[in-house]
Structure 1
Amino acid sequence: MPTAEYLAYAHALTPDQPLGFLTGEVAATADRWGTVPRTYVRCLRDRALPPPLQDRLIRDADGLTPGNRFRQVPLDSGHAPFASLPEELARVLVRVPT
């Protein structure tokens, strides 16, 4: 996406989440988390969370709950498809199983 359009989004985004989640203990369990259907939007040009790292996260989560694997949907976007591909992302989201 053009830099000017990106900056309009970037300046509006603020980290509302404390950074402690990065260093805290993960408490996901198959019993508590593994029963919710999951869809992973793979951002193929993501430089914040590169595709190989996305693959690792998906693989680890699917390993925890092999009976409830991620449905994966690739988008040709960077880390913020809501900004660069809003219509495509909306089409994905309306098809997420509930």
Structure 2
Amino acid sequence: MAWILVAVAGLLEVAWALGLKASAGFTRPIPSVLTVIAMVASFYLLAQAMKVLPVGTAYAVWVGIGAVGTVLLGILIYGDSASPLRLLSLVLILAGLVGLKLAG
């Protein structure tokens, strides 16, 4: 159950990271409110998961899901660069997450 909480918290991290861009520096009310809600929910779920999981592993997985998801959606939604080096870097992040999960 704790890993599910981390996964959902990571997806919410993607939501709030993209929400930061959509809020235009917190000048747009609806995206701003949704971003803050996603932030609070993400932190809450991560905190609940950390009651059971090792702090370093849980945090790294949460950040990794957020980073990979945000980069991928940035490419798809905002046309961010999809250079081979960026994509290789994402693969390395994923490999590190799998390693942490297996080691924990």
- So what's the TM-score if we normalise by structure 2? 0.36
Higher Rg of the two aligned structures: 1
Structure holding more helix per residue: 2
Structure showing the higher strand proportion among its residues? 1
